[in-house]
């Protein structure tokens, strides 16, 4: 589509798109996310304006992480940018190259904080969002749905904290050690690829490429170290032992929930992490049914229909926010409305 063919988008729509981008970057907001999706669906120009705002933000991140950006302390564009500035990232980038700007704005639960762009950043995804970012050292960070990662790089250390959710860390070669802090200890790595999740009671670490070291801190303060090789996984529990990494679990980066003889209760929980519309079990006796297959993470209706067909269940879809799987009382279509 050429510029002449693009629909005319009022400045007010661009301003609203920038405001939504800032709100979503700020963190979890269930009610706000529903309102955002309704706003997107209300007018095709809304999605166009939002995609442009998000693309501008991503471009400013890449520019800030580039060689010239790092050498001149180039900062990322602010989240809120008015259309009258045309492309906020470009104007801010020029100012930074000229030496005007040396601080990055990081938005989180509190108002804007000013921190050194070389020292700290916060990365966060909303419900259903999977995002990959390239860090200043060349490492990559992929965040799963509802994930929060805090980063702090210094001249002698690269340290991140996975506060919630799941992330994949692709560690670039660098003289500084790279560590990820979680409840119960830290993961130490050099030029490796690994996943860490904090969904359950204990964080789970999976080594995909290379070796990593788990440093566990016991309740008494004692520190123990365990090595994981490629293809191995372990929890951060004090007495955990390495096991074979699940290949199904590694597919989350593609937006798929892959299950291999997984209890239905756990499968439902995995799908629900990606969606506001939740799947529920009307009979807890169903929780132990074993499920194998791959499902699109953002399609709870398709998941529920597949499970209903698999086990002869019915679906109560009468509530807009719930899909209830329950034993079929009589022969009827899979979905009851």
- pLDDT tens column, 233-246: 999 987 888 999 98
Instruction: Determine the Cα angle at 186 with ends 222 and 118, to 5°.
Output: 135
Tokens of 157: 């250390």
Task: Work out the mean pLDDT of the chain and round it to a whole number.
Answer: 78
Distance of alpha carbon 168 from alpha carbon 159, whole angstroms: 15
In this structure, the strands spanning 178-182 and 204-209 are unpaired
| Mean pLDDT in residue range 182-186 | 92
- pLDDT band at residue 11 using 50, 70 and 90 as cut-offs: confident
List beta partners, residue 130.
Answer: none
Could you tell me where in the chain the CATH 3.55.50.30 domains are found? 255-336
| Mean pLDDT in residue range 86-102 | 35
Instruction: Report yes or no on whether pTM surpasses 0.85.
Output: no
- pLDDT band at residue 56 using 50, 70 and 90 as cut-offs: low
Report the CATH fold assignment for 255-336.
Phage tail protein beta-alpha-beta fold (3.55.50)
Distance of alpha carbon 20 from alpha carbon 43, whole angstroms: 15
Could you tell me where in the chain the CATH 2.60.120.1440 domains are found? 119-244
Please give the pLDDT value at position 124: 93
Distance of alpha carbon 11 from alpha carbon 14, whole angstroms: 5
Dihedral (Cα; 59, 62, 68, 73), 10-degree rounding: 100
Distance of alpha carbon 35 from alpha carbon 298, whole angstroms: 17
Please give the pLDDT value at position 151: 95
Q: Which residue carries 């799908």 as its tokens? A: 271
Q: Is 329 helix (H, G, I), strand (E, B) or coil?
A: coil
Query: Are 9 and 2 in contact, with CB atoms under 8 Å apart?
Result: no
Asked if the model's pLDDT at residue 13 lies above 90, the reply is no
What is the dotted CATH code of the domain comprising 119-244?
2.60.120.1440
Query: Are 153 and 118 in contact, with CB atoms under 8 Å apart?
Result: yes
Strands (E), 267-316: 278-281, 290-296, 313-316
């Amino acid at each position: 589509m050429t510029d002449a063919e693009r629909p005319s988008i009022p400045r007010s729509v661009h301003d609203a798109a920038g405001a939504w981008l800032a709100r979503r970057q700020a963190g979890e907001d269930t009610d706000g996310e529903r309102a955002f999706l309704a706003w997107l669906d209300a007018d095709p120009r809304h999605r166009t304006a939002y995609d442009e705002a998000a693309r501008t933000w991503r471009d400013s991140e890449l520019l800030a992480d580039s060689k010239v950006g790092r050498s001149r302390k180039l900062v990322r564009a602010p989240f809120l940018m008015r259309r009258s500035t045309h492309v906020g990232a470009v104007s801010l980038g020029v100012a930074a190259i000229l030496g005007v700007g040396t601080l990055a704005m990081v938005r989180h639960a509190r108002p804007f904080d000013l921190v050194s762009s070389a020292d700290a950043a916060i990365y966060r995804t909303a419900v259903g969002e999977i995002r990959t970012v390239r860090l200043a050292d060349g490492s990559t960070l992929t965040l799963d749905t509802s994930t929060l990662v805090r980063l702090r790089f210094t001249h002698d250390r690269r340290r991140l904290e996975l506060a919630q959710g799941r992330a994949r860390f692709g560690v670039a070669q660098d003289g500084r050690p790279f560590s990820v802090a979680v409840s119960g200890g830290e993961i130490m790595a050099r030029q490796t690829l690994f996943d860490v999740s904090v969904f359950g009671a204990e964080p789970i670490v999976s080594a995909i490429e290379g070796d990593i070291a788990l440093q566990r801190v016991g309740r008494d303060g004692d520190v123990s170290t365990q090595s994981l090789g490629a293809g191995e996984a372990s929890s951060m529990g004090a007495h955990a032992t390495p096991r074979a990494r699940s290949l199904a679990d590694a597919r989350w980066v593609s937006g798929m929930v892959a299950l291999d003889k997984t209890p239905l209760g756990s499968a439902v929980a995995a799908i629900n992490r990606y969606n506001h519309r939740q799947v529920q079990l009307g009979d807890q006796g169903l929780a132990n049914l074993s499920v194998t297959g791959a499902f699109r993470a953002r399609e709870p209706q398709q998941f529920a229909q597949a499970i209903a067909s698999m086990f002869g269940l019915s679906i109560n879809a009468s509530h807009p926010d719930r899909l209830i799987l329950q034993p079929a009382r009589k022969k009827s279509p899979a979905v009851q409305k």
